[in-house]
């Protein structure tokens, strides 16, 4: 019969062998932002989520995925080793802070208002006269800051910002055209005020993530795009294919 001492030693050996294999190579973090990433029935879904899962598996990377408020997700990817955040707008301000895998999508941004609102804001100068809302750390917030907007009503997620827009607490909010299309399809009482500049979105990884891992993910994403599988993912969610202009 195995002694207690021997049994403990065997368990320690097993733990030393199994332990490292149970640790995720990468923790992907994201937010509630349909149709790109969102939770439904306890599962994380979306256009970007499907792409991330496919390229991680194609690269042989063991990973886990979590959904949380955007500001926390962005902070973890910047400060915590082994973390990557998506779907992240690739802005000049963020460029050097992360290692990038892109594009998960290319999209134009739009400023939206409540449906039937009498507000006229077809230019940025006109928009400055109104109350504008966004989310902490969101690409829309970053774009507004770059454009010189300073008085921005901030929330932790897009649903709160939308609630403020519907209730009249804010007059305008920026979002991507594809998200706007999804919100319209879902029956949200909103309409377009003006179009804004486009943006490339991707996976932003902590600088500690090895270059060979980034390279493997990028190659897998490139294959996803060129094979037409990325377009097929967009089609399943009822959206037009992703644009490939200026693709790397």
Torsion angles phi and psi, residue 133, rounded to 5: -120, 155
Percent of the chain with pLDDT over 90: 70
Q: Which pLDDT score, from 0 to 100, does residue 24 have?
A: 65
The residue with greater pLDDT, 19 or 93, is: 93
Spell out the domain ranges in the chain. 25-106+200-236, 107-199
pLDDT for position 146: 82
What pLDDT digit, counting tens, does each position of 191-208 carry? 999 999 878 999 999 999
Please, which contacts does 141-150 make with residues 24 or more away whose CB atoms are closer than 8 Å? 142/89, 142/91, 142/93, 142/94, 143/89, 143/91, 143/109, 143/174, 143/196, 143/197, 143/199, 144/174, 146/91, 146/93
> CATH number for the 25-106+200-236 domain, one of 1.10.3720.10, 3.40.190.10, 3.30.1490.20, 3.40.50.460?
3.40.190.10
**Minimal CA–CA distance to 128: which of 77, 161, 163, 171?**
171
Instruction: For residue 146, report the phi and psi dihedrals to the nearest 5 degrees.
Output: -65, -30
Q: What is the mean pLDDT of residues 86-90?
A: 94
- Identify the CATH number of the domain defined by range 107-199: 3.40.190.10
Express each pLDDT in 154-182 by its tens digit: 999 999 999 999 999 999 999 988 889 88
- Residue pair 141/161 in contact (Cβ under 8 Å)? The answer is no
More confident residue, 97 or 237: 97
Question: What global pTM score does this model have?
Answer: 0.69
Residue 14 — very low, low, confident or very high, per pLDDT cuts 50/70/90? very low
Taking CA atoms, 81 is separated from 70, 91, 99, 113, 212, in Å, by 18, 21, 12, 39, 15
Same CATH fold, 107-199 and 25-106+200-236?
A: yes
H helix intervals, the chain: 4-22, 47-58, 70-79, 92-95, 124-127, 139-146, 158-167, 177-185, 211-226, 229-236
Are 51 and 39 contacting, i.e. CB atoms less than 8 angstroms apart? Answer: no
pLDDT for 232 beyond 70:
yes
Q: What is the pLDDT of residue 6?
A: 46
Tell me the mean pLDDT in the region 55-84.
Answer: 97
178 vs 60, residue with greater confidence: 60
Cα–Cα dist 109/127, whole Å:
14
Q: Which residues contact 114 (CB under 8 A, 6 or more apart)?
A: 165, 166, 168, 171, 189, 190, 191
CB 94 within 8 A of CB 191: no
In this prediction, residue 82 has a pLDDT band, given cuts at 50, 70 and 90, of very high
Query: Under DSSP, is residue 29 helix (H, G, I), strand (E, B) or coil?
Result: strand
As a whole number, mean pLDDT of residues 6-27 equals 50
């Amino acid at each position: 019969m195995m002694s207690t001492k021997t049994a403990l030693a065997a368990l320690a050996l097993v733990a030393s062998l199994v332990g490292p294999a149970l640790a995720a190579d990468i923790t992907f973090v994201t937010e509630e932002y349909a149709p790109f990433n969102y939770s439904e029935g306890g599962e994380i879904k979306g256009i970007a989520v499907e792409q991330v899962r496919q390229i991680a598996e194609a690269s042989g990377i063991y990973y886990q995925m979590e959904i949380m408020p955007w500001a926390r997700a962005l902070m973890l990817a910047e400060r915590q080793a082994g973390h990557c955040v998506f779907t992240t707008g690739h802005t000049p301000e963020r460029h050097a802070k992360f290692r990038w895998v892109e594009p998960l999508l290319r999209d134009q941004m739009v400023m939206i208002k409540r449906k039937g609102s009498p507000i006229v804001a077809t230019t940025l100068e006109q928009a400055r006269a109104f109350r504008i809302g966004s989310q902490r750390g969101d690409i829309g917030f970053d774009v507004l800051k770059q454009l010189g907007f300073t008085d921005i009503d901030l929330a932790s997620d897009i649903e709160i910002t939308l609630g403020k827009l519907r209730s009249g607490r804010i007059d305008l909010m920026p979002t991507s055209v594809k998200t706007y299309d999804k919100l319209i399809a879902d029956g949200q009482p909103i309409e377009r005020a003006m179009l804004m500049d486009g943006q490339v979105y991707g996976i932003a990884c902590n600088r500690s993530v090895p270059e060979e891992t980034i390279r493997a993910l990028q190659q897998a994403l490139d294959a996803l795009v060129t094979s037409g599988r990325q377009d097929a993912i967009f089609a399943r969610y009822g959206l037009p294919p992703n644009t490939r202009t200026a693709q790397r």
